[in-house]
Amino acid sequence: MKYISPKAKIPSTTFIGEAVVLGPTFIGEECLIEDWVIIGHPKRKGLLQASTKAFNSLNKALDEESRGAKVGRGVIVRSGSVIYENVELGDYVETGHYVLIRENTQIGREVKVGSGTIIDGEVKVGDRTNIQSCAYLPPKTLVGKEVFIGPRAVITNDRYPFSGKLVETVVEDGVVIGANAVLVAGIRVGKRAVVAAGAVVTKSVEEGVVVAGCPAKRIMTVEEYEEKRSYYLGEA
């Protein structure tokens, strides 16, 4: 059932389907929010507090606890997606279906997030990055601009689970991460590096190289990779 918080700010040029918008959420001009979307979902503490209050509506109880989210201009959020409180979506962000973006996450302009992807809170993603379907980005992940993250790629944040010691994993600008690749917690992938499909990256990767395998090792430079891609595209 559709619910729009009285605290939310939504312009008339934005279309919202049978969705739930909670707390002091701000949504920019010309957005499309499809059915069964939740924006401004409270984190766990808010849920526990909501459960102790006497409301005749779950949405009203959640609305009372939500700190809202910020959605830029021209954003598309497809059906089934959940955007938590204190999330910022930049202008022209586009999600697939059933995307989860947890609290305190910042998504830059023109980012695409594929269906079934989980961005698990405390994450930063730079402008024009493309995250394919069913990827996983845990807390303390930093992703630069114009990065490609392939389907089912996984980034981790705990080197010895479950230690509780979470560390940053950094993916710098222009990196390509292939399908089903795994980045082990605490590493840094340098600018324009390429991680091959299925690779398990256990150590930091320097700028401008291609790594593959398990554990991942350098196999060529990005210049060689670009030559192969040009040949593949018939440009050579």
**Confidence (pLDDT) at 138:** 99
Averaged pLDDT for residues 166-189: 99
**Confidence (pLDDT) at 47:** 86
Contact at 8 Å (CB) between 168 and 186? yes
Q: pLDDT band at residue 200, thresholds of 50, 70 and 90?
A: very high
**Confidence (pLDDT) at 236:** 52
Which helix or strand (DSSP H or E) is residue 119 part of?
A: strand 118-119
**Confidence (pLDDT) at 149:** 99
**Six token digits for residue 193:** 């590096």
Least confident of 10-14, 42-46, 176-180, 215-219: 42-46
Contact at 8 Å (CB) between 139 and 84? no
Between the alpha carbon of residue 145 and those of residues 83, 104, 116, 130, 171, the distances in Å are 21, 19, 21, 9, 9
**Confidence (pLDDT) at 118:** 99
Q: pLDDT band at residue 54, thresholds of 50, 70 and 90?
A: low
Instruction: Check which CATH number belongs to the domain holding 210 and give it.
Output: 2.160.10.10
Domains contained in the chain, number = 1
Q: Which long-range contacts (CB under 8 A, 24 or more apart) does 83-91 make?
A: 83/37, 83/38, 83/39, 83/40, 83/41, 84/40, 84/41, 84/42, 84/43, 84/121, 85/22, 85/23, 85/40, 85/41, 85/42, 85/43, 85/46, 90/127, 91/28
> Which residues are registered as beta bridge partners of 188?
170
**Confidence (pLDDT) at 124:** 99
Q: pLDDT for 55-81, tens place per residue?
A: 778 899 999 999 999 999 999 999 999
**Six token digits for residue 100:** 């989860």
> Which residues are registered as beta bridge partners of 94?
76, 112
Distance, CA of 141 to CA of 15 (rounded, Å)? 32
The per-residue pLDDT of the chain, averaged, comes to 97
Domain of residue 44 covers: 3-232
Q: pLDDT band at residue 171, thresholds of 50, 70 and 90?
A: very high
- Residue 134: phi and psi, rounded to 5, are 65, 25
**Confidence (pLDDT) at 94:** 99
